[in-house]
């Protein structure tokens, strides 16, 4: 597996780890659907404009399904969890995703579950739990359900993205644009019906939405979908652990949260699982859809 591909793919969950601090520090409260919409639709339309490709044939419904799972369902659930749970609790729930992806990958994609991969997934989940959970961790039933729903949606999206691949001649930016746009269009009527727009957006909110849309939307998803197609499914499944790690580190630096010895052990365990997972996946040759790329992010 090319190291550069792994690093570029890792950029996405690392950026997504900033969601918690951006949501709590910059965005107006009470607008999780709007946050998902502004993170997806503008970036998606920009990506389609850059790539100049639209879906054809059955890719209209495939892009819609992937857009719903990866964007339309995941984004609002993510922001609901971020608002109703401490970042650590939401991240700990999200850390079960490698285990879900491991099972779905075996059922849907046919990738054999290796013992080393399973150990890495369990170790990563345990490591993140040690990093982010403390004795004072507050639990909110609605927030927990939102976090679990988001994990299930994006895990399913990762596996289906792996299974369906990318149509020939379509670059990674266009492919990400289809899904971001589909997810944003799904969210639009719900935003207008249930939330509307905040009375005003200050400069912090504009900066926060811009960061989530450009870095966390357009750039991150283009690299993420590219990596899913080039790597064994367990590799991006483990890379998602970077998100809670980054969230915790930012909480320590920005919010002044204490970092304990137990968290340090969890950090070492999580990073060990990431490294071990990449080693366990070596030798697997992921199946890719034929791709003839013309445009940004050439293969």
Q: Is residue 233, in this structure, part of any structural domain at all?
A: yes
Q: Is residue 291, in this structure, part of any structural domain at all?
A: no
pLDDT computed for residue 299 by the predictor: 33
Q: Is residue 299, in this structure, part of any structural domain at all?
A: no
Q: Do the Cβ atoms of 29 and 195 come closer than 8 Å?
A: no
List the Cα angle 203/180/110 in 5-degree steps.
135
pLDDT computed for residue 288 by the predictor: 43
pLDDT computed for residue 278 by the predictor: 62
Total of domains in the chain: 1
pLDDT tens sequence for the chain (299 residues): 578 888 899 999 899 888 778 888 888 887 878 888 888 999 999 999 999 899 999 999 999 999 999 888 887 787 777 677 765 566 666 667 776 777 776 676 666 667 776 777 677 667 776 766 655 555 677 777 888 888 888 888 888 888 888 888 899 899 999 999 999 999 999 888 888 878 788 899 999 999 988 998 899 989 988 888 888 877 887 788 788 778 777 877 776 666 667 767 777 777 677 666 665 555 544 444 443 333 333 33
pLDDT computed for residue 293 by the predictor: 34
pTM comes to 0.77
Q: Is residue 290, in this structure, part of any structural domain at all?
A: no
Q: List, for residues 239-282, the tens digit of each pLDDT value.
A: 887 887 787 778 777 766 666 677 677 777 776 776 666 655 55
Q: Is residue 294, in this structure, part of any structural domain at all?
A: no
pLDDT computed for residue 161 by the predictor: 87
Query: Which pair of tokens denotes residue 247?
Result: 């969230």
List the Cα angle 254/257/260 in 5-degree steps.
130
Q: Do the Cβ atoms of 124 and 95 come closer than 8 Å?
A: yes
Instruction: Provide the b/e sequence for 203-227 (b: ≥16 CB within 10 Å).
Output: eebeebbbbbbbbbbbbbbbbbbbb
- CA pair distance 297, 277, nearest whole angstrom: 26
Q: Is residue 111, in this structure, part of any structural domain at all?
A: yes
Q: Is residue 288, in this structure, part of any structural domain at all?
A: no
pLDDT computed for residue 298 by the predictor: 32
Q: Which residue segment(s) compose the domain that 105 sits in?
A: 3-281
Q: Is residue 156, in this structure, part of any structural domain at all?
A: yes
pLDDT computed for residue 18 by the predictor: 86
């Amino acid at each position: 597996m090319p190291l550069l591909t792994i690093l570029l793919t890792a950029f996405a969950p690392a950026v997504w780890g900033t969601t918690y601090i951006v949501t709590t520090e910059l965005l107006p409260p009470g607008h999780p659907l709007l946050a998902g919409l502004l993170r997806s639709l503008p970036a998606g339309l920009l990506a389609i404009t850059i790539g100049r490709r639209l879906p054809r044939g059955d890719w209209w419904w495939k892009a819609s399904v992937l857009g719903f799972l990866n964007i339309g369902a995941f984004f609002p659930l993510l922001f609901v969890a971020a608002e109703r749970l401490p970042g650590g609790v939401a991240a700990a729930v999200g850390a079960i995703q490698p285990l879900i992806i491991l099972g779905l990958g075996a059922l849907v994609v046919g990738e054999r579950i290796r013992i080393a991969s399973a150990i890495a997934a369990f170790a990563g989940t345990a490591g993140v739990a040690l990093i982010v959970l403390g004795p004072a961790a507050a639990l909110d039933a609605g927030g927990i359900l939102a976090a679990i729903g988001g994990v299930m949606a994006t895990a399913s999206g990762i596996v289906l993205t792996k299974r369906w691949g990318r149509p020939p001649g379509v670059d990674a930016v266009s492919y990400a644009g289809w899904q971001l746009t589909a997810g944003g269009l799904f969210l639009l009527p719900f935003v207008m019906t249930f939330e509307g727009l905040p009375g005003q957006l200050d400069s912090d909110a504009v900066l926060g939405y811009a960061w989530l849309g450009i870095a966390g939307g357009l750039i991150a998803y283009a690299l993420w979908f590219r990596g899913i197609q080039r790597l064994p499914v367990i590799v991006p499944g483990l890379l998602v652990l970077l998100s809670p790690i980054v969230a915790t580190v930012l909480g320590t630096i920005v919010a002044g949260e204490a970092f304990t010895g137990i968290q340090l052990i969890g950090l070492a365990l999580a990073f060990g699982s990431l490294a071990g997972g990449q080693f366990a996946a070596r030798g697997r040759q992921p199946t890719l859809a034929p791709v003839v790329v013309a445009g940004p992010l050439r293969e």
